[in-house]
Structure 1
Amino acid sequence: MSYLDNIRTFVRVYELGNMSAAARDQRISAAVASSRIAQLEEHLNVRLFQRTTRQLHATEQGEIFYAGACKIIDAVEQAEADVESVTRTPRGSLLVAAPLGIGRRLIAPLIPKFKDAYPLIDIRLRLSDRALDIAGEGLDIAFFLGLPKDSTLKIRKIADCPRVLFAAPEYVARKGWPKSPSELTTGTHDCLNLRYPGAPEFQWPLKTANGTEKFAVSGPFESDDGDVLTSWALEGHGIILKPVFEVQDHLKSGALVPVLEGTPPVSVQLGCLYSHRRHQDPKTRLFIDFLARPMAQAVAP
């Protein structure tokens, strides 16, 4: 068993604080992960973790070894990237995350085409509308809509993505057309909100005569899945804020209609995040460059 594999497993156990989670991340069994840590401890003649029922905590020696282990992995990955740049045969895997709407509509259809162009690169796609911990989850690239908070990561802007407020004709017939954004906050109209554990208080930024204003909207329906909200809107349960590209077919068919067109939502940034370490990885650059143009074209008004 490779000593480098042992070090990689140790780093993920340290970062995730859980042997089973690290094993899943490495695509190995928990028994193999435990064996790798045990071999490292035997080799170093120290205990790297204090084990409790549910979690592992690094010892002082483990903290010291983690700092050095990261340098080793960084050096190996940089060397591999340098070789790939020269040989022009990038290989390996990329763990990519994206919100559900972006992932299903924009990214997933492009991955088979990328694989045809670069058959030695495997893509592991994870879709979720929740906030992601890029380092903690071992992600290589994370696509986003909005303004990411983590300033330690590199950002690649792809496009400005226009958004719209819309509802089903059935809803408008029942509740009437909203006349001002204030009706979204007083209970006059029902808003469908995207929320997930740990999400901040939800507000919709709308363009008004006074500039951009944020409205703390309310309504009886919430979900952490944006497509569920679209389904509820189609059934006439409320008003929703969505990127145009996600609902344009429904808008064209008349199944959904724009509301409050005089005070539209602010456009949102579509982009991706990746660590500074991944910036030099040819796989990362190739994947982002391959997807950037068709994604920008897809969200263009």
Structure 2
Amino acid sequence: MSYLNNIRTFVRVYELGNMSAAARDMRISAAVASSRISQLEDHLKVRLFQRTTRLLNPTEQGKIFYEGAVKILEAVEEAEADISNVTQIPQGTLYVAAPLGLGQRFIAPAVPKFRAAYPLINIRLRLSDRKLDLAAEGLDAAFFLGVPEDSNLKIRKIADCPRLLCASPDYIAKRGTPKSSAELKTDAHDCLNLRFPGAPEFQWTLDGPEGPQRIAVTGPFESDHGEVLTQWALDGHGIVMKPSFEVSEHLNAGRLVPVLENEPPLPIQLACLYMHRRHQDPKVRLFLDFMVDHILAELPTT
């Protein structure tokens, strides 16, 4: 097992980019982690990392070995999971994240139902609209809307969700109804943007008469919290772009009204991210299968 532990340590150091962080994640000392990497390098007769006092970067050999090491661990964990499926009931704790609107509408209500079906599995659910680092934050799975930036993660697509632009009747009464997306580029209307620190200038992609067009929009308010944007829209402060399931109740009640229906936003992908190896864990597979079925059953078809 010592060689396998050395490989596991190498993979965590590679993924986290830090010896101490990997050691904490694996609940070992930094000295043990460093020793395991050295043993692995001695065995392979190559240097896997370039080390300085502040930086730890993989060498070309390290990058090559990482790809093979991940496959080795996946194969071992898949074999262990197969045995687990036969010999024991899945148990343990799952750490799951989701955006606020999606999590409140679909994930949180289904967690007690999942726990009732699998009473030995505990769920730790985090709801946040900020971008998450699954490896650094120890997450087993993260639901999301959009296109992820990290290509090292596995994606399980669930659905394409329609979106719309909407505003409150009070806002429309004061500012008028936009006749085309061109008006969103001017001071004629205020757009409410979901934006994170360090994010580039925000653009909305709308499906106009000439096909999808990216529109640079501005407004007096921005937030990294989707529910804040919804509340600002309800309070008459601007036009918001939202998945239809997040604002359907407000639309049905007349608190929000759709705008620019002839130039709607493109649908947004609803999916789940997980680390390559996490899906071999029976409880992760059970949770994802359960939640995907639940979301598809609850997701509005229009």
On whether the aligned pair clears a TM of 0.5, the verdict is yes
CA-CA distance at 1:10 after TM superposition: 7.6
C-alpha deviation, 1:290, in angstroms: 0.3
Is 1:164 the equivalent of 2:133?
no
Per-residue CA deviation, residues 268-287 of structure 1 (Å, 9 max, x unaligned), is: 11111223323433222211
The amino acid of 2:171's aligned partner reads Y
Q: Percent identity?
A: 63
Give the deviation of 1:159 after TM superposition.
1.4
Alignment CA distance shift 1:117-1:23 (3 Å): farther
1:122-141 correspondence to structure 2 within 5 Å: 122-141=122-141
Corresponding position: 1:220 with 2:200: no
Read off the aligned partner of 1:163 and give its amino acid letter. R
Cα distance in structure 2, aligned partners of 1:5 and 1:109 = 39
Distance 1:36 1:126, change over 3 A: farther
SS of the residue corresponding to residue 227 of structure 1 reads: helix
1:21-32 alignment runs, 5 A limit: none
Deviates more, 1:222-231 or 1:104-113: 104-113
Quote the Cα distance in structure 2 between the aligned partners of 1:25 and 1:249: 42
After TM superposition, where is structure 1 displaced by more than 4 Å over at least 4 residues in a row? 2-14, 17-26, 32-44, 48-53, 55-59, 62-76
Give, as a single letter, the amino acid of the residue that structure 2 aligns with 1:219: G
CA RMSD of aligned residues (A): 3.5
CA distance in structure 2 between the aligned counterparts of 1:152 and 1:14, rounded to whole angstroms: 12
The structural deviation recorded for 1:194 is 0.5
Q: Which moved more, 1:85-94 or 1:233-242?
A: 85-94
C-alpha distance after superposition, 1:31-82 (max 9, x if no partner):
x7558658869999x9x997968x87899xx999989986775465334312
Q: Is the 8 A contact 1:6 1:36 kept in 2?
A: no
Structure 1 runs not aligned, ≥5 long: none
Q: Give, in whole Å, the separation in 2 of the partners of 1:199 and 1:141.
A: 23
Query: Does residue 176 of structure 2 align to residue 176 of structure 1?
Result: yes
Of stretches 251-260 and 219-228 in structure 1, the one that deviates more from structure 2 is 251-260
What does residue 295 of structure 1 align with?
Answer: 295
Give the drift of 1:237: 0.8
Report what 1:234 is aligned to: 234
Q: C-alpha separation between the residues in 2 aligned to 1:220 and 1:100?
A: 23
In structure 1, distance between residues paired with 2:24 and 2:105: 27
Q: Identify the residue that residue 107 of structure 1 maps to in structure 2.
A: 107
Unaligned runs of 5+ in 2: 43-47
Q: Give the secondary-structure state (helix, strand or coil) at the position aligned to 1:188.
A: coil
Match of 1:118 in 2: 118
Answer yes or no: is 1:281 the counterpart of 2:284: no
Partners of 1:68 and 1:292 in 2: how far apart?
Answer: 30
Contact 1:130–1:197 (CA<8 Å) still a contact in 2?
Answer: no
CA distance in 1, matches of 2:299, 2:142: 18
2:87 match: 87
Whole-Å Cα distance in 2 between the matches of residues 86 and 66 of structure 1? 30
In the alignment of these two chains, the number of paired residues is: 296
Q: Which moved more, 1:213-222 or 1:193-202?
A: 193-202
Name the structure 1 match of 2:211. 211
Moved more, 274-283 or 16-25: 16-25
Higher deviation after alignment, 260-269 or 70-79: 70-79
